[in-house]
């Protein structure tokens, strides 16, 4: 495989950095340090670019981390900014995007879900929302997980009886749905509640989510007592059920603070060179869940430095709350506070509480961070031991960092699709999964060997191309695990030989007689097939990999098949848009009837010209 060419420079390290000093301004900005291959080693901010870069060029001793970084530097790039605050915001953005080796970075590939109370309909809808906040309404969150949102939504529906259905379903209903029957909706779609009373429910829900739960509950208690005194026991029972639902939400929120209404809590714990940061979300005076993160950073960095970089990246695409509580003093706290205030367009405070309820909550989060890190370290040890056993089993020099597993799925050759899953030291890497729609026109339907040949050829041809352009971007597997027997292995070996792929261990795994799990056979090039002890942890691990690939391929195939079932041949005719399609289907009843129609019948449809009718007829009768 071709190695990327290194940047040719006369100087490297401190001497190379020294060469930039003559042209650098005494102004704030962001700098990037690159190695000889053009890879970004570090992204940093500075109040004065000239003074910061001078500190790297001096011969004074540095920490081991900085010494290594400086020694590898072959080039630097600079961007001046109008202020140090702007430099911090740009630095956070670049670190999150580039993930340099010597910066603190973490994987954060998913936005947090919110609850949305819409305001663009006469009868507002309460629903889960993820992504950009473009829809008109009031957003409550973030919640730590979709599960937390779903549980809260279910209970909110019982407490406030607001609709959750889409507008199209709402407009089309003629009878109350099941949610009305089980007392989770007030039935506005069929007039079981008027707009005024529904708006009152909306106001109560809004107040509850904004933290005014006691006021809402007190009002409902008063209404319930009044209904009971008036002998309206049915209404009193309904209000009682709503009060119980509200209490249920509060009971499941865990610690509910009284000294603040909205805050995010960051608690860090470091051990054995690894760090866990637990982030707790408090909104409307309620605990809305937490999520652990494990940022990558140099072991020499303090927790204050790690937290500063982590918090800056965390709010790169999120709006920070008014209060941020931290378990440790954050490095450059004043600058970070100013940057987050600019991003939020209001004042943001970062605080390490010393006493009282805030400190108790931070200590609770820190305890969670300690426990989570202990669990992760224990899991990593077990995973590392498994990968060491896999390396020994398949003759690798070291534990595999990347295992790719391949499987195909189809029904009698239709909707054929190949799937690839990826696993490594951190478990399944779902962001690396890939599916391959089988494209070969001359492939015999159901030919599993040909399907596997196409999938592997496309995958490794792409890898070879990426390696030729930039070796660092090519994600080569240590092991390619094929679901199949010696036939699939032979196909894979031929593909590798044709492409010149080396240093990838090929293995195929097939189920034993009667497809019994535990009696799998393993096949490697040039070796006799073998089996493992049915109780072997390594066998169980490899079975999990194979089963995950099968699950992914089957699931992708089913989606493809469902899409094909729902496809309409009219969509393939150029010039037949939504209006003409609707007119044709309304007149003939189905696409099959359109296909059977004669030219005269097609011409009689309003909006279909003679030329268009001929085009439609010719599409279904190509030989006519």
Torsion of CA 439, 440, 441, 442, to 10 degrees: -160
pLDDT-derived band at 7 (thresholds 50, 70, 90) equals very low
Q: At what angle do helices 333-344 and 303-314 cross, to 10 degrees?
A: 10
Beta strands in 478-619 (DSSP E): 479-483, 505-510, 521-523
Geometric angle at alpha carbon 93, from 77 and 307, rounded to 5°: 110
Most confident of 270-274, 548-552, 563-567: 548-552
Q: Compute the distance between CA of residue 507 and CA of residue 33 in angstroms, rounded to an integer.
A: 41
Q: Compute the distance between CA of residue 588 and CA of residue 259 in angstroms, rounded to an integer.
A: 67
Geometric angle at alpha carbon 572, from 566 and 576, rounded to 5°: 105
Would you state the structure tokens that stand for residue 405, as one six-digit string?
């597993």
* Mean residue pLDDT across the chain: 82
DSSP letters for 234-277: HHHHHHHHHHHHHHHHHHTT----SS-SSEEEEEEEEETTEEEE
pLDDT in tens, 264-320: 999 999 887 789 999 988 887 777 778 888 888 887 788 888 999 899 888 887 888
State the CB neighbour count (10 A cutoff) for residue 180: 20
Q: Compute the distance between CA of residue 326 and CA of residue 564 in angstroms, rounded to an integer.
A: 52
Q: Compute the distance between CA of residue 530 and CA of residue 544 in angstroms, rounded to an integer.
A: 18
Is 403-549 the same fold as 263-374?
A: yes
185 pLDDT above the threshold of 60: yes
Residue among 506, 476, 483, 477 at smallest CA distance from 494: 506
Among all chains, which residue has been given the structure tokens 């915001």?
89
Bond into 142 cis (ω within 30): yes
Residue among 384, 197, 155 at smallest CA distance from 272: 384
pLDDT in tens, 445-476: 667 888 889 999 999 998 888 877 666 667 89
pLDDT in tens, 128-152: 888 777 788 888 777 766 777 777 7
508 pLDDT above the threshold of 90: yes
9 pLDDT above the threshold of 60: no
pLDDT score recorded for residue 157: 79
pLDDT score recorded for residue 414: 62
Residue among 492, 484, 538, 487 at smallest CA distance from 508: 484
606 pLDDT above the threshold of 70: yes
**14-98 is classed in which CATH architecture?**
3-Layer(aba) Sandwich (3.40)
The answer to whether 525 and 548 are in contact (CB under 8 A) is: no
State the CB neighbour count (10 A cutoff) for residue 181: 10
Q: Domain 263-374, CATH 3.40.228.10 — does that match?
A: no
- Could you tell me the sign of the dihedral formed by the alpha carbons of 140, 143, 147, 148, in that order? negative
Q: Compute the distance between CA of residue 486 and CA of residue 493 in angstroms, rounded to an integer.
A: 10
The answer to whether 350 and 324 are in contact (CB under 8 A) is: yes
Task: Classify 36 as helix, strand or coil.
Answer: coil
Q: Compute the distance between CA of residue 124 and CA of residue 188 in angstroms, rounded to an integer.
A: 10
Would you state the structure tokens that stand for residue 188, as one six-digit string?
């506005």
Residue among 367, 389, 387 at smallest CA distance from 379: 387
Beta strands in 163-203 (DSSP E): none
Which of 150-159, 389-398, 573-582 is least confident?
150-159
pLDDT score recorded for residue 450: 87
Q: Compute the distance between CA of residue 267 and CA of residue 257 in angstroms, rounded to an integer.
A: 17
How confident is the model over 344-358, as a mean pLDDT? Answer: 90
The sheet carrying 114-118 orders its strands as 126-129, 114-118, 137-140
Q: Compute the distance between CA of residue 361 and CA of residue 367 in angstroms, rounded to an integer.
A: 10
Residue ranges per domain, the chain? Answer: 14-98, 114-251, 263-374, 403-549, 569-620
pLDDT score recorded for residue 19: 84
Q: pTM for this one? A: 0.57
H or E element that contains 436: strand 434-437
pLDDT in tens, 421-439: 999 888 888 889 998 888 7
The answer to whether 72 and 35 are in contact (CB under 8 A) is: yes
Could you tell me which CATH number the domain at 569-620 has? 1.10.150.20
pLDDT score recorded for residue 59: 66
Torsion of CA 171, 176, 178, 180, to 10 degrees: 110
pLDDT in tens, 553-564: 887 767 766 665
In the chain, how many H helices and how many E strands?
20, 18
Would you state the structure tokens that stand for residue 435, as one six-digit string?
């599916």
Would you state the structure tokens that stand for residue 555, as one six-digit string?
């699931």
Percent of the chain scoring above 70 in pLDDT:
87
pLDDT in tens, 365-384: 898 898 888 877 777 777 88
pLDDT in tens, 67-103: 888 888 888 889 888 888 888 888 888 888 888 888 8
Q: Compute the distance between CA of residue 304 and CA of residue 336 in angstroms, rounded to an integer.
A: 12
pLDDT score recorded for residue 1: 42
Q: Domain 403-549, CATH 3.30.420.340 — does that match?
A: yes
β-strands 75-80, 126-129: how paired? unpaired
Q: Compute the distance between CA of residue 268 and CA of residue 255 in angstroms, rounded to an integer.
A: 19
The answer to whether 233 and 225 are in contact (CB under 8 A) is: no
Torsion of CA 200, 246, 321, 206, to 10 degrees: 0
pLDDT score recorded for residue 511: 79
516 pLDDT above the threshold of 80: no
Percent of the chain scoring above 90 in pLDDT:
16
The answer to whether 472 and 450 are in contact (CB under 8 A) is: no
pLDDT-derived band at 205 (thresholds 50, 70, 90) equals confident
599 pLDDT above the threshold of 50: yes
């Amino acid at each position: 495989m071709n190695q990327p060419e290194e940047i040719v420079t006369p100087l490297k390290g401190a001497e190379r950095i020294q060469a930039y000093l003559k042209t650098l301004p005494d102004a704030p900005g962001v700098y990037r340090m690159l190695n000889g291959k053009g890879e970004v080693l570090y992204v940093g901010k500075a109040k004065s670019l000239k003074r910061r870069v001078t500190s790297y060029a001096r011969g004074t001793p540095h920490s081991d981390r900085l010494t290594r970084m400086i020694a590898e530097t072959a080039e630097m790039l600079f961007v001046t900014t109008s202020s140090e605050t702007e430099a911090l915001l740009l630095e956070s953005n670049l670190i999150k995007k580039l993930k340099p080796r010597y910066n603190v970075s973490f994987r954060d590939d998913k936005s947090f879900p919110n609850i949305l109370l819409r305001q663009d309909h006469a009868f507002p809808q309460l629903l889960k929302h993820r992504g950009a906040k473009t829809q008109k309404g009031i957003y409550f969150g973030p919640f730590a997980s979709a599960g937390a949102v779903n549980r809260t939504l279910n209970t909110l529906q019982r407490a406030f009886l607001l609709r959750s259905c889409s507008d199209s379903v709402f407009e089309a209903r003629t009878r109350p749905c099941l949610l009305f029957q089980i007392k989770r909706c007030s039935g506005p779609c069929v007039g079981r509640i008027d707009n005024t009373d529904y708006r009152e429910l909306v106001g109560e829900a809004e107040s509850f989510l904004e933290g005014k739960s006691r006021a809402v509950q007190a009002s409902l208690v008063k209404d319930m007592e009044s209904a009971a005194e008036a002998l309206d026991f049915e209404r009193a029972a309904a209000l009682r059920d709503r009060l119980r639902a509200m209490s249920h939400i509060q009971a499941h929120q865990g610690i509910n603070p009284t000294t603040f209404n909205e805050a995010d809590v960051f608690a860090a714990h470091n051990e054995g060179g690894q760090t866990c940061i637990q982030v707790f979300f408090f909104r409307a005076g309620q605990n809305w869940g937490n999520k652990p993160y494990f940022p990558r950073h140099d072991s020499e960095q303090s927790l204050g430095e790690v937290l500063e970089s982590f918090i800056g990246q965390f709010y790169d695409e999120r709006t920070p709350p008014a209060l941020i509580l931290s378990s440790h003093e954050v490095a450059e706290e004043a600058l970070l506070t100013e940057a987050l205030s600019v991003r939020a367009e209001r004042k943001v405070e970062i605080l390490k509480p010393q006493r009282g309820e805030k400190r108790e909550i931070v200590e609770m989060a820190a305890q969670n961070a300690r426990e989570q890190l202990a669990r992760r370290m224990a899991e990593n040890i077990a995973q590392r031991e498994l990968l060491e056993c896999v390396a020994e089993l398949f003759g690798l020099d070291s534990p595999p960092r990347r295992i790719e597993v391949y499987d195909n799925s189809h029904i009698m050759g239709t909707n054929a699709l190949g799937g690839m899953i990826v696993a490594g030291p951190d478990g399944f890497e779902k962001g690396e999964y890939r599916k391959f729609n089988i494209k070969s026109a001359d492939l015999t339907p159901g030919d599993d060997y040909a399907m596997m040949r196409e999938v592997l050829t496309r995958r490794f041809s792409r890898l070879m191309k990426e390696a030729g352009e930039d070796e660092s971007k090519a994600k080569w597997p240590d092991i390619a695990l094929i679901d199949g027997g010696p036939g699939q292995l032979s196909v894979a070996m031929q593909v590798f030989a044709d492409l010149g792929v080396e240093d990838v261990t090929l293995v195929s795994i097939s189920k034993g007689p009667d497809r019994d799990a535990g009696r799998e056979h393993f096949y490697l090039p040039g070796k006799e097939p073998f089996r493992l002890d049915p109780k072997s942890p390594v066998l169980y691990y490899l079975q999990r990999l194979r089963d995950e690939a099968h699950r992914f391929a089957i699931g992708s195939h089913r989606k493809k098949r469902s899409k094909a079932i729902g496809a309409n041949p009219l969509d393939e005719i150029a010039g037949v848009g939504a209006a003409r399609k609707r007119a044709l289907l309304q007149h003939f009843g189905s696409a099959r009837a359109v296909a059977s129609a004669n030219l005269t019948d097609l011409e009689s449809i309003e909006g279909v010209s003679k030329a268009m009718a001929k085009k439609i007829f010719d599409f279904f009768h190509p030989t006519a």
